[in-house]
């Protein structure tokens, strides 16, 4: 199963965040996903994301958070990308602020596909130069261009 990240990313789900807290950022991720028609029940979607955060922070370090949720009412995987130029306290593993948020959501019965998407995303964002370009991006198109070929 070959994963092409670009298939899960859309211009409508890339945004520049104004959040100052993790919960505000999650609200933004939920709203953008809902507005693009990917989430039919935003309240339960947010609850599921917050429940996952309560188990362990999805702030993986290096200025990146990957909140994720698998729910039976989400028919297909998608990624929503938020960029916060000021940084947000996310209780990250390295205790540093988060600038890049990658929400991964999809059906709860496709664990292998989820893990492959996560692995591919991690491969792309572990490159420090790429992370820097994402944080410095001025437009959604700049962000999308970084994911071309992945």
Express each pLDDT in 100-128 by its tens digit.
999 999 999 999 999 999 999 999 999 99
CA separation for the pair 144, 142 (Å, rounded): 6
The fold of 5-146 is: Mannitol-specific EII; Chain A (3.40.930)
Q: Report pLDDT for 43.
A: 97
pLDDT of res. 51: 96
What are 37-49's pLDDT values in tens digits?
999 999 999 999 9
Q: Per-domain residue ranges for the chain?
A: 5-146
What gap in Å lies between CA 17 and CA 133, rounded to an integer?
16
pTM of the prediction? 0.96
Residue among 3, 45, 2 nearest 26 (CA): 45
CB 60 within 8 A of CB 100: no
Residue with more model confidence, 149 or 31? 31
Residues 48-71 have a mean pLDDT of: 96
- Whether 68 is a known active-site residue: answer yes
Choose the catalytic residue: 68, 83, 84, 131: 68
Dihedral (C-alpha) 112, 116, 118, 120: value to the nearest 10 degrees?
A: 180
Please provide residue 105's backbone torsions phi and psi, each rounded to the nearest 5 degrees.
-140, 150
């Amino acid at each position: 199963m070959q994963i092409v990240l670009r298939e899960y990313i859309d211009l409508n789900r890339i945004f520049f965040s104004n959040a100052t807290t993790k919960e505000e950022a999650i609200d933004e991720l939920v709203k953008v996903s809902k507005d693009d028609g990917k989430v039919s029940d935003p309240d339960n979607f947010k609850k599921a994301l917050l429940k996952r955060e309560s188990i362990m922070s999805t702030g993986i370090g290096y200025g990146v958070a990957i909140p994720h949720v698998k729910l039976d009412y989400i028919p297909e995987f998608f990624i929503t990308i938020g960029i916060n130029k000021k940084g947000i306290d996310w209780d990250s593993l390295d205790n540093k602020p988060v600038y890049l948020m990658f929400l991964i959501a999809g059906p709860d019965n496709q664990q292998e596909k989820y893990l492959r998407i996560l692995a591919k995303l991690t491969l792309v964002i572990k490159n420090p130069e790429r992370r820097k370009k994402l944080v410095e991006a001025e437009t959604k198109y700049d962000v999308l261009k970084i994911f071309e070929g992945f």
